[in-house]
Amino acid sequence: MKPPSVLGIISYQVFPAKMGGQKCAASFYSHLAKLTPVTLAVSKENAGAVNADANVFPFLYHHKQGIRNLRYIYRLQKLIKERNIDVVCIEHSYFGWMGILLRWLTKKPFVVHSHNIEAKRFRDMHKTGWRIYQWYEGWVHRNADHSFFITEEDKSWAIKKWQLAENACSVVTYGTDILQPPSNDERAACRKQLLEENGLDASNRLFLFNGTLDYLPNTDALRIIISELLPLLQPMNFSFRIFICGNRLSAQWEKVLNAYPGIIIYKGFVDDISLYFKGADCFINPVTLGSGIKTKLVDALAYDQPCISAKTGAKGIPAEITGTKLVLADDYDWPAFAQHMFAHKNFTQHTPPPFYQFFNWEAIVREALLSLQTL
């Protein structure tokens, strides 16, 4: 069967890909393009990064100005015709209305590629109108020819909540291009570099947390680290430092983190996060809000990083494929979380091969293509 030509529509900045959601979209289409023709229509913010790519067209308005894209419906129709597009894939549900309209005009099926349940995210962020968006999101998925969800948990919730047909839904999770753990020597060299660059003694245990730091689940995790975990960890008899990496931190939060100079090391956005994933002793993920998958946790495990996570923060990562590398604490049981941090040892067991098989981008995209072919 001939693989379908795909038009991906992305309503936000994704190039260059720096944050988890951007990496998810960019990697998905990059791997899909190795298997079938892919054309991307993306928002105008991407223009500076993609002008050299003839298959990427940065002319859309951001989804916050979504309705203004009605002026580009004809251009999208023309793109579908000229490029012999078989399937339209909408990233997130924001432009779901556009997929419905294009299907009516061109008779081409459309898929929603959901990275999380947006209404749940809006609810957690205390956005007014999240219930209205939940209705809209359900309406989009019910009208889509197929829905990709990023975790089994999101898929099961959506099927039950929105009465979706089970055979019209599948899981397309976040992936990694890392195929095996880095060597122990490589990790030791990265750890040594972190110690030297930050003037730290080798006896310090190095913890890491990273993410987009204006995103409420991650901001709440900072609050937990400062207000819940540090008061529990400081009386314990061991030396430690916590690296915080990420962009978009508010000035107020930067003052808070800088108030703990002997414990918290705030690095801001770093060009090479792999240095920290390989060099730290343990990744911590005290995230209890949001749906979808925590891409940073997948990345940390791919780099063979021992991880401690709240149970909600580990959704979408099957426990049976992580071996001893992922330790879970019940949500809001911060004494247990802190005890795991205290008891943590930099053990030598590696992230198991089934993890790399499950989260391999090439395998994930091949499964997605099978679903697209049925349309």
pLDDT of residue 125: 80
Report yes or no on whether pTM surpasses 0.85: yes
Structural domain containing residue 72:
6-175+360-373
198 and 316 inside one domain: yes
36 and 147 inside one domain: yes
Using an 8 Å Cβ cutoff, are 89 and 8 in contact?
yes
What the block records as the tokens of 132 is 């209205």
Q: Please report, in tens digits, the pLDDT of each residue of the chain (375 residues total).
A: 788 999 999 999 999 998 889 999 999 999 999 999 999 999 999 988 765 566 999 999 999 998 999 999 999 999 999 999 999 999 999 999 999 999 999 999 999 999 999 998 888 888 899 999 999 999 999 999 999 999 999 999 999 999 999 999 999 999 999 999 999 999 999 999 999 999 999 999 999 999 999 988 999 999 999 999 999 999 998 999 999 999 999 999 999 999 999 899 999 999 999 999 999 999 999 999 888 999 999 999 999 999 999 999 999 999 999 999 999 999 999 999 999 999 976 556 899 999 999 999 999 999 999 999 999
Is 140 a domain residue?
yes
Which one-letter DSSP state was computed for residue 355? Answer: H
Distance CA 22, CA 20 (A): 5
76 and 15 inside one domain: yes
Is 1 a domain residue?
no
Measured in residues, the chain has a length of 375
Using an 8 Å Cβ cutoff, are 202 and 238 in contact?
no
Which one-letter DSSP state was computed for residue 257? Answer: H
**E strand or H helix that includes residue 57:** strand 56-60
337 and 194 inside one domain: yes
Report how many domains make up the chain: 2
148 and 97 inside one domain: yes
337 and 368 inside one domain: no
60 and 200 inside one domain: no
Decide: residue 269, CB within 10 A, 0-12 exposed, 13-18 middle, 19+ buried. Answer: middle
pLDDT of residue 54: 67
Which one-letter DSSP state was computed for residue 176? Answer: B
pLDDT of residue 257: 96
Distance CA 240, CA 308 (A): 15
pLDDT of residue 19: 87
Using an 8 Å Cβ cutoff, are 8 and 29 in contact?
yes
pLDDT of residue 347: 55
Give CA separation, 240 vs 25, 201, 232, 342, in Å: 35, 10, 13, 9
Is 299 a domain residue?
yes
Q: Is the omega angle on the peptide bond into residue 16 within 30 degrees of 0, that is, cis? A: yes
| Count of CB atoms situated within 10 Å of the CB of 125 | 14
Distance CA 238, CA 246 (A): 26
Q: What are phi and psi of 87, to 5 degrees?
A: -140, 140
The CATH number covering residue 221 comes to 3.40.50.2000
126 and 219 inside one domain: no
pLDDT of residue 148: 98
pLDDT of residue 73: 97
147 and 289 inside one domain: no
Distance CA 60, CA 197 (A): 43
Helices assigned H by DSSP within the chain? 20-32, 47-50, 73-82, 96-106, 118-124, 130-143, 152-162, 184-197, 216-223, 230-233, 251-258, 274-279, 295-302, 334-343, 353-358, 361-373
pLDDT of residue 346: 58
247 and 333 inside one domain: yes
| Count of CB atoms situated within 10 Å of the CB of 55 | 13
CA angle 30–35–40, rounded 5-degree value: 45
CA angle 212–214–216, rounded 5-degree value: 100
Q: What are phi and psi of 234, to 5 degrees?
A: -60, -35
Give CA separation, 275 vs 188, 353, 367, in Å: 11, 22, 31
165 and 188 inside one domain: no
215 and 151 inside one domain: no
